[in-house]
Amino acid sequence: MKKVLTILAIGVLALFISSQINASETGSLADAIKHAEMAKTHGDDEKKLLHHVEMSLKHVEEIDREALGKVNAEEEKLINAAIMHLQEAISHAEMDHADAASKSIDKALKEMRQFSAK
């Protein structure tokens, strides 16, 4: 009986911990998408665009660290592609190429939304 209670307690703890990890990944992804969308609204102001793209990248990189070993290869590919597109957007924004940055943001948003649908 004592072993059953111990196993049950461990199971409940594992369930709680895994749900917290999934919730934090979802929150970070929502923040990443929000910042990427806000960056697009500031297409005429490269400084604001750059700020929001950098914040989006920060959240996506956090997801990548938290999800390490917990996602399948397809999901890893999506998150890595989003990181690459956000880094491209940052490079374009730093060169005052808002149109090119916006295109890279669109690509990153597509990858992030596909990741969230998984």
Q: What is the pTM of this model?
A: 0.75
Reported as a single tens digit per residue, the pLDDT across 60-109 is 999 888 887 788 888 889 999 999 999 999 999 999 998 999 999 999 99
Residue 51 sits in a domain whose CATH number is: 1.20.120.660
Reported as a single tens digit per residue, the pLDDT across 4-56 is 556 655 655 454 554 444 434 456 899 999 999 999 888 778 889 999 999 99
Distances (CA, A) of 105 to 73, 81, 91, 115: 23, 11, 12, 15
Domains: count for the chain? 1
Contacts of 109 (CB under 8 A, 6+ apart): 33, 36, 37
Domain extent at residue 65: 26-117
